[in-house]
Structure 1
Amino acid sequence: MTSDDIAVLANPLAGRGRHRGLLSQVLDRLGASGRTVRLLSAASAEEAEKACHRAVAEGVGALVGFGGDGTLHRTVQAVAGTTVGFGMVPAGTGNDFVAGTGVPSDPLAAADAIADAVRTGRATEIDMARVTTAEGDVRWFGAVLAAGFDAIVNERANRMRWPRGPRRYDLAILLELARLRPRDYSLVLDGVDHSFSGVLVAVGNCASYGGGMLICPDADPADGLLDIVVAGPLGRGAVARLKPRLRRGTHVTDPAVTSYRAREVKIASEGIFGYADGERVAALDLVVTCVPGAVRLLR
């Protein structure tokens, strides 16, 4: 690959495949930039991430993801902290990073915007969150890291083989609500201890997760800060009542909910795996750092 090439990672199954037929049109639209467009080949998520790293190492000019937040998570591991242009064509069920960064929600419009940005040399610097695990591994995310009840639900849903589709997540919520209990968290924000006992922890670079739930409604991916939202001890009924308010972002006015802003977040608790952009990252303890302008977004 050359510095003029555009490499594309496509997940045809994203969004339950509803945009699968658009891939050829997306590639054509990207080709209007005048650059050679190359589709990366991968048979698994791990291979996809390796293919992205390989493309960046070979000097590709831009890396584009065609899919949802899972595709974002794979592609951004390769481009974060580099000067390679990065574009997202939304084709998933969530697309929370796209929504939070002003990328067009229509796939073809997003592809046109990327092509124009490449052609004119236009890019917008966007913050990303860098996660360092207890083992010293580094992962990046663009939208939100969950480390409370929602992360526990994700972990449960991933272990379930039935039912398929969204109903599996709904069932996981009911099962975890039945065993809901507050957990003790060590939470250190820019060196200041804010440890607490509670049920909800989210660290946001963007405002939403889960396809539009405004968990960190005031998060701005260009302000150099992370938004942290936590909730103290809540019973099952209180959590169930709080959930619908996430769509409007009004949960942050609840007396049990506290919001912070920080550049660095150190979070620890026993028995919890953090999930970022909907993907399993690692067991807590985690250190999350905002890296200003970590990606050059083509939009």
Structure 2
Amino acid sequence: MTSNDIAVLANPRAGRGRHRGLLPGVVDRLASSGRAVRMLSAATAEEAEKACHRAVAEGIGALVAVGGDGTLHRAMQAVAGTQVGFGVVPAGTGNDFAAGTGVPGDPLKAAEAIAAAVREGRATPIDLARVTTAQGDVRWFGAVLAAGFDAIVNERANRMRWPRGPRRYDLAIALELTRLRPRRYSLILDGADRSFTGVIVAIGNCRSYGGGMLICPDADPSDGLLDVVIAGPLGRGAIARLKPRLRRGTHVTDPAVTSYRAREIKITSQDIIAYADGERIAPLDLVVSCVPGALRLLR
């Protein structure tokens, strides 16, 4: 690869395969930038992430991810904090990072916008969140990190082999609701102790997760801050009543819900594995920091 090439990571299974025939059109539009377009080959998510790191190390001009938030999350690890431009072609079921950063929702229009940005030599600086684990490992995320009930549900769903598709997640919610209990969290925001007992913790660089649930409705990925939304010790009925309000972002007016903004969040609790951009991150304890302009978004 040369420094002018556009490397493309595509997940053909994203969006349950409904965009499978999309890739040739995306590549054609990216090629209208005047740059060579090269596909990255990978059989697993781990291989995909390594392929992106190799491409950046080889000096590519831009990296484009075609897929959902999980695909973007893998590719993002290679370009975060670098000068390599990053393009997003939303083709997943959620596409929360794309929605939160003003990327066109239509995949072909998104590819055209990327090509225009490359031709004109422009990129938009976007904040990212950097997660440091208790072992010192670093991961980046673009949308939202969950460390409460939703993270527990994700962990349960990932252990299940049946049913397939979204019904598995619905079943995981039902199973975990029967075991719902408040947990004690140590929460330090920019040095201030905001520790609490509750069931929901979300740290948002963007507004939504889970395909449009506005968990952090006021989050802005260009303000240098992360939004933190927590909920106290809600019961099963209260959780069920709160869930429809997540689509509209009106849950933050509930007396049990509190919102903060911070540059650095230190969070600790027992038996919680955090998820970000829908991907498994690490068990708490975690330090989450906003890094302004860590991503050069092509849009």
Distance, in Å, in 2 between the alignment partners of 1:109 and 1:12 is 19
The answer for the alignment partner of 1:227 in structure 2 is 227
Q: Per-residue displacement from partner, 1:19-64 (whole Å, max 9, x unpaired)?
A: 1101011001000000000000001000000000000000000000
Gaps of 5+ in 2: none
Partner of 1:237: 237
Residue 188 of structure 1 corresponds to 188
Give 1:3 deviation, angstroms: 1.0
* Per-residue Cα deviation, 1:203-242 (whole angstroms, up to 9, x for no partner): 0000000000000000000000000000000000000100
1:70 to partner: Cα distance: 0.4
Aligned residues: 299
| Amino acid aligned to 1:86 | F
Question: How far apart are 1:75 and its partner, in Å?
Answer: 0.5
Aligned to 2:96: 96
Question: Could you tell me how far 1:122 is from its partner in structure 2?
Answer: 1.2
Tell me, in whole angstroms, the C-alpha distance in 2 between the residues paired with 1:175 and 1:273: 17
Mapping of residues 25-174 of structure 1, within 5 Å: 25-174=25-174
For 2:204, the equivalent position in structure 1 comes to 204
Residue 59 of structure 1 aligns with an amino acid whose one-letter code is: G
State the distance in 2 between where 1:22 and 1:174 align.
Answer: 35
Counterparts of 1:141 and 1:94, CA distance in 2: 15
Q: What is the letter of the counterpart of residue 193 of structure 2?
A: D
Aligned to 1:24: 24
Q: 4+ residue runs of structure 1 moved beyond 2 angstroms? A: none
Within 1, Cα distance between the matches of 2:230 and 2:73?
24
Return the letter of the residue paired with 1:221: P
Segments of structure 1 that go 5 or more residues without pairing to the other structure are none
Aligned to 1:33, the other structure's residue is in SS state coil
Task: Indicate the RMSD between aligned Cα atoms, in angstroms.
Answer: 0.3
> Aligned partners of 1:52, 1:178: CA distance in 2, in Å?
41
Whichever residue aligns with residue 207 of structure 1, its letter is R
Residue identity in the other structure for 2:83: T
Please report how far the alpha carbon of residue 119 of structure 1 lies from its aligned counterpart in structure 2 after TM superposition: 0.4
Q: Which amino acid aligns with 2:239?
A: V
Matched residue, 1:250: 250
What residue is the counterpart of 1:214 in the other structure? 214
Instruction: Tell me what 1:272 maps to.
Output: 272
In 1: Cα distance, 2:195 partner to 2:128 partner: 24
TM-score, length-normalised on structure 2?
1.00
Percent of pairs identical after alignment? 83
- 1:211 alignment partner, SS class: coil
Measure, in 2, the Cα distance between the counterparts of 1:140 and 1:86.
Answer: 14
Using the size of structure 1 for normalisation, the TM-score is 1.00
TM-fit CA distance, 1:289: 0.2
